[in-house]
Amino acid sequence: MRLALLNGPNLNLLGIREPALYGTRTLGEIEAELTALARSLGATLTCVQKNGEGELIDAIHALRGQCDGAIINAGAYSHTSLAIRDAFASVSVPFVEVHLTNIHAREPERRHSMLAAGARAVLVGFGPAGYALALRGLVEMLGAARG
């Protein structure tokens, strides 16, 4: 099973960016843990971080025919980007949306996700553990779909 982890704007600054909100673990640390977890679940994981919306869309397009499923934390683009949701629909790659914080308990503009309607699942507020939960859930969903 081939999976992808996509992270959007400012997530490259995890560990130093607003640690009271996002914690002190770096994106590199999270990616390393998830790569090892994926391997233990019989999957491979490709990790990508892009700050630009178009770059994220290009990364999603590149998943076509190369990936069985994806996890995405699109950061602030989650609240504004129909284009990212449309990109996933265009390549027919099932995805799980993840947010480190509980977006429903934050500012009003962060309480709605444009991606959620296209996602297989959405995890919010678990911090970095949300990525591992998403990975386990996605592997299980895709495995059940296969048979």
Degrees, nearest 5: CA angle 63-65-69: 55
Enter the tokens of residue 104: 């429903």
User: Are the C-beta atoms of 72 and 94 separated by less than 8 Å?
Assistant: no
The Cβ of residue 41 has, within 10 Å, a number of other Cβ atoms equal to 16
131 is catalytic: no
Considering 99, 104, 112, 131, which one is annotated as catalytic?
Answer: 99
User: Are the C-beta atoms of 125 and 101 separated by less than 8 Å?
Assistant: yes
104 is catalytic: no
Considering 22, 77, 79, 104, which one is annotated as catalytic?
Answer: 22
Catalytic sites, residue numbers: 22, 99
